[in-house]
Amino acid sequence: MQRASISQWTLAYFGCSLAVFLAALGLIAAGFGYPADALAGPRTLIVVHMLAIGWLTLLMFGAMFQFLPVLVGRDLVWPRLPPVALLLIATGLVVMLTGFAGLDGMIDLPAQLLPTGGLLLLCGFSTAAAVLMATLLQGQSLPLPACFVAVALLSVLLTALVGESLASALTGVFGGDFALALVTHGIPLHAGLGLGGWLTFAAMGVSYRLVSMFLVAPERGGRLPQIAFWSGVLGGAGLGGAFAILLARNMPAPPAVTFAALAGFASVGAYLGDIITLYRSRRRKALELHMRAAIAAFSMLGLAALVLVIAAAAGSERGVVAGVYILVLGWLSGLSLAMLFKIIPFLTWLECFAPVMGRTPTPRVQDLVCERRALPIFAGYFIAVLVGATGLFMEEPHLLRVAAAAQLIVAILLSDEFRKARRLHHLPAEWTNWKKPRLFLPTTPSRMLP
C-alpha cells in the first residue's frame, strides 16, 4: 500500500451511518412507508433518504476520505473539512426528514424545512466533494478507479441539485408548468442519478481498489474495465440529457431514459465480468469472510439489474420496487457491510499495532474478528434481502416486515462484531491489556500507513 494518512473522521462517518441504517430497518420492520404508504409519499421518502443519504452516502464519503489518498498516492487535501461536511450532512438530513414529516402532517412544523434541509445537504456534499476532487487533482496520476470516483462525485452534486429543485417544487417555493413536470417526471431521474450515477458508480470505483488489494490480485486493465467505465458515463449522460429536456420542454424524454438504462446495464455486465476475472487472478487463494460475503453482494447487483430491466420492459411497478430493494439492500448495503468487516479491523490494527510493528510481536488483522461466528450472520442477511424483495413483488407487506426485522437483527449483530473489533475483544490473552482505541471519534493525530 502507498503511504497515506489515516483519516481520523472515517470511523465517525461509519458510526453515524450504521446508526441511521439500523433506524431505517426498524421503520421498515414496523410497517412505516411503502407499501402501507404511497411509493412517492412522505413516509416512504423518509425511509428512502435515510438509506440513501444517512446510511450509504455517509458510509461512502467516510470510505473515500480514507482510501482516495491511497488511490492517487497523495495525502487528503484540507483534512479539517471532513467533520464540517459530516455536520452539514447530518443536520441537513434531520431537517429534511422533519420537512417530510411536516408535509405528511405527522408533526406541526412547516414543510418548507424540506428545501432548507436540501440546501444544507447540498452544502455538505459540496464540501466533501471539494476535498475529494482537490485530492484527486493533486494526484500523480488518475488510475481508472479514481476516474469512477470523479464521475460519481459529479453525479452526487447533480443529484443534490435535482433533489433541491424537487423539494422546492413540492413545497410551493415555485410553481407553474415546470414545477408540475418536475414533480411528475423528475423523481425517477433523481433516483437514477443517486443510485446509479453516485452510489453504484462510487462503489464500483472503490471496490476495484479494495478487491484487488484484499485478494492480492493485479490491478485491472484492458477492455472490460474501460467498457464498464465508459458505458456508465454514457448512462449518466443519458440521465443528464433527460433532465435537460425536462427543464427545457417540461416533458419527459423516454428515449434518453431507455438509452441510459441500456448503457447502465452494459456497464454492470462489464464490471461483474471484470470482478470475476479479479477473483480468478488472485494470489491469495483462501478467501477471507468479507470477500466471500462480497460475492453475494456482486450477485445481488447482477440480479437487481436483471430484475429492473425485465420489470421496466413489462411496465411492472412492483417489479421495479423489488429490483430497487435488491439494489439498495443487497448490492450497496451488502457490499458495505462486507467491506466494513475488513476495514474496521484494518484501521484498528493500524491505529493500535502499526506503530510498534517490528519492535514487538503483533496480531494479524484477521485476529481482530471471528469469521466463524459472522458467517451465518452474513448468510442470514442476504437471505432476508431476497425474502423482502419477494414480499414486495408479491405485494405481501407482512413478508417484507419479517424480512426487514431479520435484517435489523443481523445488522445489530454485525455492528456488535464491529464494536468488538474496535475493543480488541477477540484477541488472545496476551493483548488483553493493550490500550484500546475509542469506538468512533478520533483520539490520535494522523499516522502514516506503512
Q: Containing H/E element for 437?
A: none
Q: How far apart are CA 203 and CA 51, in angstroms?
A: 15
Q: Residue-wise pLDDT tens for the chain (450 aa)?
A: 444 567 889 999 999 999 999 999 999 999 999 999 999 899 999 999 999 999 999 999 999 999 888 888 888 899 899 999 999 999 999 999 999 999 899 988 888 899 999 999 999 999 999 999 999 988 777 888 889 999 999 999 999 999 999 999 988 888 888 888 888 889 999 999 999 999 999 999 999 888 888 888 887 778 899 999 999 999 999 999 998 898 888 888 889 999 999 999 999 999 999 999 999 988 888 899 999 999 999 999 999 999 999 998 898 999 999 999 999 999 999 999 999 999 999 999 998 888 888 788 889 998 999 999 999 999 999 999 999 999 999 999 999 999 999 999 999 999 999 999 999 999 988 887 888 888 887 765 444 443
C-alpha cell of residue 208: 476495484
Question: Which pLDDT score, from 0 to 100, does residue 448 have?
Answer: 43
Q: How far apart are CA 79 and CA 63, in angstroms?
A: 14
Q: What pTM was estimated for this model as a whole?
A: 0.93
CA-angle at 387, arms to 385 and 393, nearest 5°: 105
Q: How far apart are CA 155 and CA 329, in angstroms?
A: 21
Are the C-beta atoms of 37 and 46 separated by less than 8 Å? no
Q: How far apart are CA 95 and CA 177, in angstroms?
A: 28
Question: Which pLDDT score, from 0 to 100, does residue 73 have?
Answer: 81
* Burial (CB count <10 Å: 0-12, 13-18, 19+), residue 156: buried
Question: Which pLDDT score, from 0 to 100, does residue 446 have?
Answer: 47
Q: How far apart are CA 129 and CA 136, in angstroms?
A: 10
Length of the chain: 450
Q: How far apart are CA 143 and CA 176, in angstroms?
A: 45
Report how far apart, in Å, the C-alpha atoms of 45 and of each of 41, 49, 90, 97 are: 6, 6, 17, 8
